[in-house]
């Protein structure tokens, strides 16, 4: 599997494994270690985290397992996120869900993630959501401190509009390396709002969360989802592949260089995504899926 170069210091695998649901998978430490080893064997060396995942537990679950095999832990690339504060029994002082991109919180959160992950360095730290109270000078100060101390290699954002991305970038002395956004056959809003064009303009590889539309593509019964499902099944049958592989191949075909995040703990689903790297959809097939999602042909 090829590596995607985000900047001079950081490259990540073309597919990323996401551990958002790790706490729900009820895995033992040995199960987590085995899953990581299987991902590495398939060429996936990058794992996507956030401080809030699993009600603030997933980083620690992952770190407790990988901390037992530090030589394996050091082979991994870690992406994690900060900036959202959830109401949680693990954060009893939070009485309302809110955002915090202050200098103090970014630095504390990054250092806390390192502690939980049993690592000395985060490869990419993302601001999880755009904050209406963002103070760009504070973000820049926090990023600069973490970078100079060697705690974080590179920085990016998640769910930012292009205008929000540019506003923050204007305060930084180094480039933001990615924007992690929702992209799938069923979620085309980032094509419509200019975010994909912005990634093209700045040579940024977007990371795609929920690349399989959160599973709704397989279960929802609305006219739109039924139409998409029928088209996906038809093209999958023609290629003699799984339907989820068509959805990954559709993303991977885009010239902006989308990096899908695989949110499954099941090896067969991870393998299927890896196999999609070798698939070639025709331009007409790509637009057939686009049309099914949009509900109308292109102008």
CA distances from 38 to 14, 32, 65, 237 (A): 16, 10, 15, 28
Q: Which two tokens stand for residue 157?
A: 């954002």
Q: Which architecture does CATH list for 14-177?
A: Alpha-Beta Barrel (3.20)
Predicted local confidence at residue 32, as pLDDT: 98
- Work out whether strand 122-127 and strand 77-82 pair parallel, antiparallel, or are unpaired: parallel
Give the model confidence (pLDDT) of 23-37 as tens digits. Answer: 999 999 999 999 999
Terminal CA-CA length for the chain: 37
Predicted local confidence at residue 138, as pLDDT: 98
Would residue 171 show up in a list of annotated catalytic residues for this protein? no
Q: Which pTM value belongs to this model? A: 0.96
Residues of the chain with pLDDT > 70, as a percent, come to: 100
Burial class (CB in 10 A: 0-12, 13-18, 19+), 284: exposed
Give the model confidence (pLDDT) of 68-114 as tens digits. Answer: 999 999 999 999 999 999 999 999 999 999 999 999 999 999 999 99
- Name residues whose C-beta falls within 8 Å of residue 104's C-beta, 6 or more positions apart in sequence: none
């Amino acid at each position: 599997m090829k590596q995607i170069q985000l900047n001079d210091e950081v490259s990540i695998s073309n597919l990323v494994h996401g551990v958002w649901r790790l706490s729900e998978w009820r895995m033992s430490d040995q199960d987590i270690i085995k899953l990581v080893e299987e991902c590495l064997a398939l060429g996936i060396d990058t794992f996507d985290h956030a401080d809030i995942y699993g009600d603030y537990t997933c980083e620690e679950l992952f770190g407790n397992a990988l901390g037992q095999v530090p030589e394996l832990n050091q082979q991994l690339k870690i992406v994690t996120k900060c900036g959202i504060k959830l109401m949680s029994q693990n954060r009893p002082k939070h009485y309302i869900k809110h955002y915090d991109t202050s200098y103090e919180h970014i630095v504390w959160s990054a250092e806390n993630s390192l502690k939980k992950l049993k690592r000395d360095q985060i490869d990419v730290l993302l601001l999880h959501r755009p904050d209406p109270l963002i103070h760009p000078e504070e973000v820049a100060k926090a990023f600069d401190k973490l970078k100079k101390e060697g705690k974080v290699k590179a920085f990016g954002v998640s769910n930012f509009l292009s205008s929000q991305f540019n506003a923050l970038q204007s305060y930084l002395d180094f480039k933001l390396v990615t924007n992690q956004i929702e992209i799938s056959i069923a979620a085309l809003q980032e094509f419509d709002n200019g975010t994909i064009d912005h990634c093209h303009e700045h040579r940024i590889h977007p990371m795609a969360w929920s690349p399989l539309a959160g599973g709704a593509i397989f279960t929802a019964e609305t006219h739109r989802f039924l139409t998409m499902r029928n088209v996906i099944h038809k093209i999958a049958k023609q290629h003699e592949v799984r339907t989820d592989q068509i959805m990954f191949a559709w993303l991977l075909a885009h010239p902006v260089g989308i990096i899908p995040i695989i949110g499954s703990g099941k090896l067969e689903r991870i393998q299927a995504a890896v196999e999609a790297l070798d698939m070639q959809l025709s331009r007409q097939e790509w637009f057939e899926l686009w049309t099914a999602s949009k509900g109308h042909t292109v102008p």
